[in-house]
Chains A and B, each alone.
Chain A
Amino acid sequence: MAVTFDQEAQQGLKLISPTLVYVLLLLAAPLLMVITFSFWTQDYLTIDTTPTFANYREAWGTPIYPVLMWRSLKISLIVTAVTVALAFPVAYFLSFHVTRRKALWLFLITVPFWTSYLLRVFLWKVILGYNGVLNSALLSIGIIDEPLTFILYNLNAVVITLAHAWAPFAILPIFVALERIDRSLLEAANDLGDGPFRRFFRITLPLAMPGIVAATLIVLIPTVGDFITPRLVGGTDGLMIANMIQIQMGKANNAPLGAALAVSSMLVIGVISAAIFLGGKKLGGRVR
């Protein structure tokens, strides 16, 4: 038995090694380099390799960076909450009310995701703009007298655009979790006299929690790193930490500071993700 296991282990390791080597060389090594880099400093055109915390002092001490970091977090958390809250009823509808053509619905939900991300963000600018689709439509029906200005170049625009961009990523994990719920549990709750609300909060929601946590993390993490949406529709209020990382890597030519900002934001996201994961585990997963 031991021999066969060894053989199997060897075969498995051999088979996965090309992919593993690729990821070690092009993901693990660069990530380690970013961490090393964040302890170095930019000396005009050359890099000073004396280890120092200077970049971290700047990243956490200079007002602008913590402000941007805090704002990115706030925007990402709002975007995530809105996206998941909007997605949940759709996932619920798909799982409990659609009986035929489920696959078609799922397919239709993913199609818009496959149009160019840049163009989708840009089209929201067209929809939400001063002379945009929404304003011109509302004006022509006579609901408003002058164009609404609170919908573009601010937080609202960023939230709408990102809630749209990440929709399928929020719906699918919740849908999968809902599909796994044993329907006889719901019937049992019914028979035992639970009303629809009690049944929802005691069975459906706790059992859907793993899906909700997955959706939250899948939306939250990439959103913190997005710099296109804030740049195109966010205006100055929507500027996020990723824009600053991009500026430090490019125009400002201070890669070590950019690296320190990147590492700092990863740490912050990591801590928050862990908190969400543990919180979700505590709240859900079993019938209450």
Chain B
Amino acid sequence: MRYLSARWLTVYAVTYMIFLYAPVILLPLFAFNTSTIVAFPLTGFTTEWFVGLWHTETLHVALWNSAKVAVSTALLSTLLGAFAARASARFAFPGKTGIVGLIMLPLVLPEIIIAVALLIMLNQLGLPLSLWTVVAGHVLICTPFSIAILSSAYRGLDRELEEASLDLGESRWGTFRRITLPLVLPGIISSLLITFTISLDEFIIAFFLTGTDVTLPVYIWSQLRFPAKLPSVMALGTILLALSILLLIVAEALRRRSAARQGIDTTLAGV
């Protein structure tokens, strides 16, 4: 009985993984396929869609816009996340639950609500939509992720190390630079990478809050309407996929190194 159920569970888990990976595997298949129609059977191998991307001016503009938005979002949300994570991990203060709850709220708020709310406020204030308004929205949804990552980094930080450093005559800044920062640095880098990736892929907020400058997902959305453009969209998606996986592996490795350094169980840290 026990043996049977274990075997069925394994079969189920593997089937589930196939379901999870089905679209991911198709993406590169069609990116290298010669036919402009995205369907089976595959017709032949080509790299012309990738070459085509190289010559699409509007794509390069969108890519550059997205890069600017994602880098600004990553820096800002990690900075704000670091403040909040440090405060909630190290100090007790009145109203803590409410304040942290408010900051984490975007995690459980549908993105369309955040987008609509920001759009209405910007319109009322008469502020023009631009890439900065997209950054403003992205920082809201990325900060909770940054806090989640950094909280575990700060919680694992041994308070006595900092106190020892202060007792030994090191200044506050010196303690931060020589003790705190090196210990949480992997967490910070991992937060930067994750928030960068979220911002790079975010569509709904960007769709509502972008002005004439489009970001990459908004560009992809506009291309999905033209069947002839699909293979190049697939090629673009393949490049993005490879990039995201690379960033994720780096982020994951760093997170584990930071957890290992502080002696936390790696499977549970940050989940």
Residues of A within 8 A of B (CB): 5, 8-13, 15-20, 22-24, 26-31, 33-34, 37, 86, 89-90, 92-94, 97, 102-103, 106-112, 114-120, 122-124, 126-127, 129, 131-133, 136-137, 164, 167, 172, 175-176, 179, 196, 217-218, 221-222, 224-228, 232, 242, 245-246, 249, 255, 258-259, 262, 266, 269
Q: For residue A165, give the distance in angstroms from its CB to the closest CB of chain B.
A: 10
Q: Which residues of B lie under 8 Å from residue A92 when comparing CB positions? A: 9
The residue of chain A having its C-beta at the shortest distance from the C-beta of B124 within the complex is A33
What 4 A-B pairs have minimum CB-CB distances, sorted nearest first? A225-B110, A12-B91, A12-B93, A30-B117
The residue of chain B having its C-beta at the shortest distance from the C-beta of A224 within the complex is B110
Knowing A16-B83, A16-B99, A19-B81, the reply to whether A249 touches B92 (Cβ < 8 A) is: no
Q: For residue A180, give the distance in angstroms from its CB to the closest CB of chain B.
A: 9
Contact flags B173-213 to A (C-beta < 8 A → 1, else 0): 00000000000000000000000010001011000100000
In this complex, which of B22, B120, B203 has the most chain A Cβ atoms within 10 angstroms of its Cβ?
B120
Would A33 and B117 count as touching, CB distance under 8 A? yes
Bound complex: CA of A25 vs CA of B266, how far in Å?
A: 37
Q: Which residues of A lie under 8 Å from residue B69 when comparing CB positions? A: none
In this complex, which of A9, A112, A119, A124 has the most chain B Cβ atoms within 10 angstroms of its Cβ?
A119
Contacts A15-B83, A34-B117 supplied; 17 other A-B pairs, CB < 8 Å: A22-B80, A22-B139, A30-B120, A33-B120, A33-B121, A37-B124, A89-B13, A90-B13, A115-B23, A117-B217, A124-B23, A127-B26, A133-B26, A179-B267, A218-B107, A221-B109, A242-B110
In this complex, which of B41, B107, B116, B234 has the most chain A Cβ atoms within 10 angstroms of its Cβ?
B116
Bound complex: CA of A127 vs CA of B224, how far in Å?
A: 15
Would A90 and B16 count as touching, CB distance under 8 A? yes
Sample of 11 A–B contacts (CB below 8 Å):
A8-B91, A8-B93, A16-B84, A24-B102, A26-B136, A30-B114, A136-B40, A167-B20, A176-B268, A196-B5, A227-B204
Q: Which residues of A lie under 8 Å from residue B208 when comparing CB positions? A: 249
Instruction: Check if B30 is an interface residue, CB within 8 A of chain A.
Output: yes
Q: A interface, by DSSP: helix, strand, loop or mixed? A: helix
Would A115 and B110 count as touching, CB distance under 8 A? no
The residue of chain B having its C-beta at the shortest distance from the C-beta of A33 within the complex is B121
Instruction: Check if B245 is an interface residue, CB within 8 A of chain A.
Output: yes
Instruction: Check if B237 is an interface residue, CB within 8 A of chain A.
Output: yes
Q: Name the contact of A9 in the complex, choosing from B10, B81, B92, B109 (C-beta under 8 A).
A: B92
Q: Which residues of A lie under 8 Å from residue B41 when comparing CB positions? A: 136
Would B220 and A118 count as touching, CB distance under 8 A? yes
Would A118 and B108 count as touching, CB distance under 8 A? no
Which residues 231-267 of B have a CB within 8 angstroms of A?
Answer: 233-234, 237, 240-241, 244-245, 248, 252, 256, 266-267
Would B256 and A103 count as touching, CB distance under 8 A? yes
Would B87 and A15 count as touching, CB distance under 8 A? yes
Knowing A97-B10, A119-B220, A224-B110, the reply to whether A16 touches B87 (Cβ < 8 A) is: yes
Would B1 and A258 count as touching, CB distance under 8 A? no
Q: For residue A161, give the distance in angstroms from its CB to the closest CB of chain B.
A: 9
Knowing A115-B244, A119-B27, A164-B23, the reply to whether A27 touches B1 (Cβ < 8 A) is: no
Which residues 48-88 of B have a CB within 8 angstroms of A?
Answer: 79-81, 83-84, 86-88
Q: Which residues of A lie under 8 Å from residue B220 when comparing CB positions? A: 116, 118-119
Q: Which residues of B lie under 8 Å from residue A118 when comparing CB positions? A: 203, 217, 220-221, 224
The residue of chain A having its C-beta at the shortest distance from the C-beta of B41 within the complex is A136
Instruction: Check if B103 is an interface residue, CB within 8 A of chain A.
Output: yes
Bound complex: CA of A285 vs CA of B263, how far in Å?
A: 29
Would B117 and A31 count as touching, CB distance under 8 A? yes
Would B23 and A127 count as touching, CB distance under 8 A? yes
Q: For residue A190, give the distance in angstroms from its CB to the closest CB of chain B.
A: 11
Q: For residue A54, give the distance in angstroms from its CB to the closest CB of chain B.
A: 17
Knowing A114-B244, A116-B220, the reply to whether A103 touches B24 (Cβ < 8 A) is: no
Q: Which residues of B lie under 8 Å from residue A110 when comparing CB positions? A: 248
